[in-house]
Structure 1
Amino acid sequence: MTTGQESRQNNVSLPPLTHERLQELKQTPQGQRIMQEAFQVFPELVKSLTANLQEKLTRYEQARTKSTGIPDGLTLSMLVDDYQFLEFVQHIMFVKWREEKNSRYYPVDKQVN
């Protein structure tokens, strides 16, 4: 899914992940923990978050189409928040990847002259 994309099923507009929203997510306890993770953790973390979101979306859609009622604690707003958090993690993964690549080409001299 792309930022700002609309779902064709129910025309839910996904809000873009703005700089302001990134800063908000960085301040959350979960965001703080993500910021401390090493780059190597991120691919598996993204897989896990994606699978979790997909499972929630499937449960939500099944409940909606079968009119059985939405499961407790599973609202459309929460799904959008989970999606934005996944985008946040992907963004942080990219930033950490870029930092790792740049450190190979531009090593920082830690010795003070």
Structure 2
Amino acid sequence: MSWLDIGPIDQIPLRGARVVKTQLGCVAIFRPAEDEVFATADRCPHKGGPLSEGIVHGRSVTCPLHNWVFSLETGQAQGADEGEIETHAVRVANGRILLDGSRLNRQVA
């Protein structure tokens, strides 16, 4: 894996998100708990809503446009909704968020 340092974890509020812009589009970084982060595509497959502006609850996010709920762990829609969002490997090391850029780099080439 090729880890990209995208900043300190404390710059993302608890139950909040931030966006990282890449050549392939925006990646949303979610912080549902003190030392836990997840990374997904920022775009809802239903109507393109910005998931980073959604409500983070547990290990899920609700799209701000039409209330579709997605698992931050798997990317799968929950409940009666169908679809999924892309997820990316991410971790926290020494208070810094590290995003796996190898898939992003591989898709660009």
TM-score norm. by structure 2 comes to: 0.21
Greater relative CO, 1 or 2 (CA 8 Å, sep 6+): 2
Task: Name the structure with the higher strand share.
Answer: 2
